[in-house]
């Protein structure tokens, strides 16, 4: 992306398509971008991290757009930028070429509402049941807060999402699963959103479930 | 490999001229050196990679249009077909050298984050029609993805034939469809896969293997009618 550093008459500086413009020895220079044929291990490691995060966030992109809409971020950053940055730095373990996503550390929302207290998850009769404690005495907890939850299937890159489900006081949210035969691991996450959808809580990892329906 | 930037008055030449070959790659006119002499000995055993490549390309080349929908992206460095080959050779071939086989359950024609076809079944009907059904996840909204287009891949494994590509008009919210098997695929073992693509083509779902069918010639209605028609002598 080219930027006008010295105003428009100064010309854009930076990359624009296949061309890059910069000041060299005081002169505005434009040249065609060379295509690298070899990458260092550090570059390959970074590329692998980006690829892992792209696959991770693909199925929950619409969820993150809602949950991180008002999270604190740098000017010009989108919710997706924030989600990929936070997770690339915090949710990837191992070193290249054995990098992997640590689902315990994945963050799907950032906010100042108190997170669900004592969250639990169970799977029975093809339904996922999320439970929590209302915890209305804690400052910042509102009875109109609604639950947002994600059941993430890493193997098929699918996610079942509830954007605004049960109220905080209901202390239970059911997520029905579709008919499917096979065995899969489901990673689950919970967070709260306020009634006006302007504030959220931090997301909480509630653990993996094994969906084994033959 | 060189790229032809300026085209001549009569366009570009395609084919071999001396030691160079002019061809098209990803819609770009390119010039490359002609392939060198083959130094392989006659009768030498083919390498495992060559066997896998032949086995998979024979099948996938019949589904180029579906793979273009399922794999082609502007951001990808490789063409969609090449990506599909790479993935399927790595994941969808079983057996030991030289007896490689295709693992039909693992073959994919698309890769993406769209909702896959959940549940569902594949049933052979009369006249060698087949019924495909699928479900949507209770948490997903049909208002949002109900107009996703169904793509069906049909492959007969004993003769190595595929169904001719037809532009699909069936959408996800139909939840079922009945299709007629082409006569050339019968009798045999027919494998069926499906995936969904969004109307703007930007989102695709992963491929789902729906199962296999064993259609027979006797199941065709015209064949049955012929059997039932009384002969002149009767």
B184 assigned to some structural domain: yes
**B119 and A59 in contact by Cβ < 8 A?**
no
> How far are the Cα atoms of A32, A212, B176, B193, B210 from residue B106, in angstroms, in the given order?
42, 19, 23, 10, 11
Q: What is the tally of structural domains in chain B?
A: 1
Distance of CA A18 to the CA centre of its chain: 30
Tell me whether residue B193 is exposed, middle or buried, using C-beta atoms within 10 angstroms of its C-beta: 0 to 12, 13 to 18, 19 or more: buried
The CATH number that applies at residue B165 is 2.60.40.10
Chain B hits for A162, Cβ within 8 Å: 139
Dig out the tokens for A45 from the structure: 């490691």
Instruction: Indicate whether this complex's ipTM tops 0.85.
Output: no
Dig out the tokens for B49 from the structure: 């990679």
Residue of chain B whose Cα is closest to the Cα of A165: B139
**B118 and A160 in contact by Cβ < 8 A?**
no
Give the three-state DSSP class for A172: strand
Q: Are A83 and A57 in contact (CB under 8 A)?
A: yes
B130 assigned to some structural domain: yes
Chain B hits for A61, Cβ within 8 Å: 113
B3 assigned to some structural domain: no
B6 assigned to some structural domain: no
Q: Are B79 and B26 in contact (CB under 8 A)?
A: yes
B214 assigned to some structural domain: yes
Fold of A43-213: Immunoglobulin-like (2.60.40)
Q: Which of A158, A176, A181 is the best residue to mutate to test the B interface, defined by the most B CB atoms within 10 Å of its own CB?
A: A158
B167 assigned to some structural domain: yes
Mapping DSSP onto H, E and C, the string for B52-98 reads HHHHHHHHHHHHHHHHHHHHCCCCCCCCHHHHHHHHHHHHCEECCCC
What's the domain range around B102? Answer: 48-219
Chain A hits for B206, Cβ within 8 Å: 156-158
pLDDT tens digit at each of 214 positions of chain A: 666 666 656 667 888 888 888 888 888 888 888 878 899 999 999 999 999 999 999 999 999 999 999 999 988 899 999 999 999 999 999 999 999 999 999 999 999 999 999 999 999 988 999 999 988 888 888 999 999 999 999 988 899 999 999 999 999 999 999 887 778 899 999 999 999 999 999 999 998 999 886 5
């Amino acid at each position: 992306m080219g930027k006008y550093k010295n105003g428009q008459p100064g010309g854009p500086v930076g990359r624009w398509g296949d061309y890059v413009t910069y000041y060299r020895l005081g002169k505005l220079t434009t040249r065609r971008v060379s295509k690298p044929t070899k990458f260092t291990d550090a570059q390959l490691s970074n590329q692998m991290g980006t690829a892992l995060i792209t696959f991770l966030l693909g199925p929950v992109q619409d969820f993150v757009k809602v949950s991180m809409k008002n999270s604190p971020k740098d000017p010009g950053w989108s919710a997706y930028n924030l989600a990929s940055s936070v997770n690339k730095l915090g949710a990837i373990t191992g070193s290249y070429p054995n990098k992997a996503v640590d689902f315990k550390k994945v963050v799907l929302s950032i906010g100042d509402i108190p997170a669900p207290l004592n969250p639990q998850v169970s799977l029975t009769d093809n339904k996922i049941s999320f439970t929590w404690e209302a915890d209305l005495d804690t400052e910042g907890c509102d009875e109109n807060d609604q639950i947002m939850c994600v059941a993430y299937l890493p193997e098929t890159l699918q996610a079942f999402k509830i954007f605004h489900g049960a109220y905080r006081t209901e202390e239970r949210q059911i997520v029905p699963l579709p008919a499917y035969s096979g065995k899969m691991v489901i990673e689950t996450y919970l967070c709260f959103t306020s009634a006006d959808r302007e504030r959220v809580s931090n997301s909480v990892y509630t653990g993996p479930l094994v969906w084994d329906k033959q | 490999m060189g790229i032809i930037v300026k085209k001549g008055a009569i366009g570009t030449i395609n084919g071999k001229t001396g030691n160079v070959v002019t061809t098209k790659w990803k819609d770009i006119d390119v010039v490359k050196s002609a392939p060198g002499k083959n130094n392989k000995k006659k009768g030498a055993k083919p390498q495992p990679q060559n066997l896998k490549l032949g086995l998979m390309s024979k099948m996938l080349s019949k589904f180029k249009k579906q793979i273009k929908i399922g794999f082609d992206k502007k951001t990808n460095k490789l063409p969609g077909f090449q990506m599909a080959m790479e993935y399927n050779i790595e994941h969808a071939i079983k057996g030991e050298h030289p007896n490689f086989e295709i693992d039909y359950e693992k073959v994919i024609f698309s890769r993406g984050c769209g909702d896959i076809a959940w549940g569902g079944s594949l049933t052979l009907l009369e006249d060698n029609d087949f019924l495909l059904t699928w479900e949507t996840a209770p948490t997903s909204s049909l208002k949002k993805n109900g107009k996703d287009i169904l793509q069906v891949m049909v492959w007969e494994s004993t003769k190595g034939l595929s169904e001719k590509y037809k532009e699909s008009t069936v959408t996800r919210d139909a939840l079922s469809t009945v299709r007629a098997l082409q006569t050339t695929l019968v009798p045999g073992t027919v494998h069926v896969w499906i995936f969904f693509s969004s109307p703007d083509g930007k989102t695709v779902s992963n491929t789902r293997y729906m199962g296999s069918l064993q259609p027979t010639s006797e199941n065709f209605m015209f064949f049955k009618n012929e059997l039932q028609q009384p002969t002149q002598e009767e």
